[in-house]
Structure 1
Amino acid sequence: GLSKSKGEAIIMSDPVGEAIGEVEVNTIFKMKERKKTSSVWDFFVDVTLANGIKKVKCKLCNAILNKTKGGTITQVLRHRDTYCPKHGVANNQSMINVELGKSAKRTFKYNHAKVREVAAQMILVHEYPFSMMEHEFFNRFMRTATPYYESISRTTAKSDVMATYEREKKSLREGNFPNLTSNFWKSGQKIGYMVLTVHFIDSDWKLQKKLNFCDVPPPYTSLVICEAITKCLDDWGIGNKVSTMTFDNATNNNAVIKYLKEDISLKRSLLFAGKIFHVRCCAHIINLMVQDGLSEVKHVIENVRESVKYINATESQIIMFSDIEKSLELPQKKLILDVATR
């Protein structure tokens, strides 16, 4: 409002503005709660009682504790490590009930050894780097899934992967009469590798296969290839067990088979005197037949290949091609070049 007297200045009072200013001041100087960065908070959850008072509840034993100002952890840490009857993260892991839906429950026990075993298999199957186990958000994800999760270092992960590899090699030695298939691949760095796959039937009569990559430096002569295969077989401990070998029909592979048969026959007698040792790749034979037939329309195939190269040369041409597909209501497909040997 306004108040005025003789010789006095006009004084304006604004109750609303004063109230806003007071709120702003109180907001600025109000003590902020600490961010819950400690892992101990994985065991507790904030709750509000019926009377409006805020507390924290233990996820393990459902005990209700006072919520301290500023988010200090002394009280909750003491409860978790000393008073909580169901906490046993260190050595003697206790059993807890994990709720599944509204009514179903099952008993859960954290098994760190099993977690390490599965983590090693995950790294092997998906080709993850060992450092993934130390990634911040991977560990945060695991602690969200279970507060009992114990971090795994890259050194431990590497050790577990090598132990898994040795265990799988042992399973190879227990298999009977394995078959080998082999081929040459090139990595993205144009480095040549020999791919050697072992196929065998385990004790449960299930077909298994194990893969190995052997670095074979040029020149790729039959003797060099034979030595690389022999080295892998000796490393696996199955050099005297191989029953058959599947190769493509490359000329130098005949010499490789000859050397391998001579080497293995010195250790044991081959099945059927080695008559079935060399199994020629059926897919390679069919591909040779197909390529021979395609040679009759070679000029057409070359035109198609040049068209694919032209479209994939720039992004604008790819977009233009995609627009034509849409206008003709054709399925959207990416153009790729064929590989005659695949």
Structure 2
Amino acid sequence: KSIASGKSDKSNRTPQPYHVIVKFIGKGDNESDDMKMDENDPDHGNNSCKFFAETEMSRYVDENAFDEEKAYRMMAKFFCSAALPPQMVDDYFHRKMMRVLNPHFHVRASTVGKYCLETYEEEKAKVKQILRSLDGQISLSVDILCYEKRCVYVKEYLCITVHFVDHMWKLKKWILNFSCLWERCDPVEVILETLKDWDIENKISTITTGNEKLFRKRIETIKGVLKEKKELQLDGRLFRVNCCGNIISRMVLCGYKEIDGIIDEVRELCSFGRSLPLWYHTSDHLKQALALEAMGEFSSQDVRDNYRVPSAAEWEKFPEAENFVSDSSSSESEEDDVEEFPENDDGDQKNPI
């Protein structure tokens, strides 16, 4: 048997730091017997320090060896989580970073893209498994979102979202499809294809949509297909519920309709940048433009030679539109301050209608 110690032997007082002293202890009468090893010993050949060192080294190498496939999988998860394209690996600083981490690992965009697709399919299978366990407990919301770039074009996007309560009683909101609607693209076909792809045609309990384009005949078509798979609650009756925020937004758009063309001219004068589909951003920009016009910023000949400046009559339309917008937004804030359950004279709460 062998004993390894990092300390010096008591019989030898000479310090021996960073050395390993091996003492062989046997049953022999002399030192030569202690040094002999039985060839019939099953551990013969495995008791050497060389074998011990090789075993430990191989174990260290196995645990710390670079796994290229594992590296690609982790990189794909990062790219998917950060919504980065696989072509990002060709970026100069990314290649420089990879050379520092591992000079022998040459990342390819095509390989990263392949692992990104595999990661998507793996996560999609997990989501499908969760949705399959929800029997008629999924609420579907369908929206058409518009991206308006003034004077150029309008793009429409279809957003399909599922809402449900999981086993931990937490409300979940998952977007299953977000795609651009082209001229010949029918939203109904996209919706039905999405439900079929995620295998939830017989799991839907309610459908919510906030767009007139989807509310009428198209929703009836979707309802008819779903009723073939599962009986809908209340026999699939449609209830029209208007959102307060949507009502305010429509009122503001009506107020801006009279000055829609002038807004484009003011945007070029003030360089508002990108046209955001948020009415309160437009309102803030118009207030700044009115303040600049009052200071005479748009009266110079240089400005008038390069831009079309609204006339005095057109400038007068802005305060009227802004007053309408201010009244609409203030009415929304007042509704937020009203008690949800007002009390009557007896101190009891009235039942909400």
TM-score, scaled relative to structure 1:
0.49
Larger Rg: 2
Identify, as 1 or 2, the structure richer in helix.
Answer: 2
Structure possessing the higher relative contact order (Cα contacts under 8 Å, 6 or more residues apart): 2
Identify, as 1 or 2, the structure richer in strand.
Answer: 1
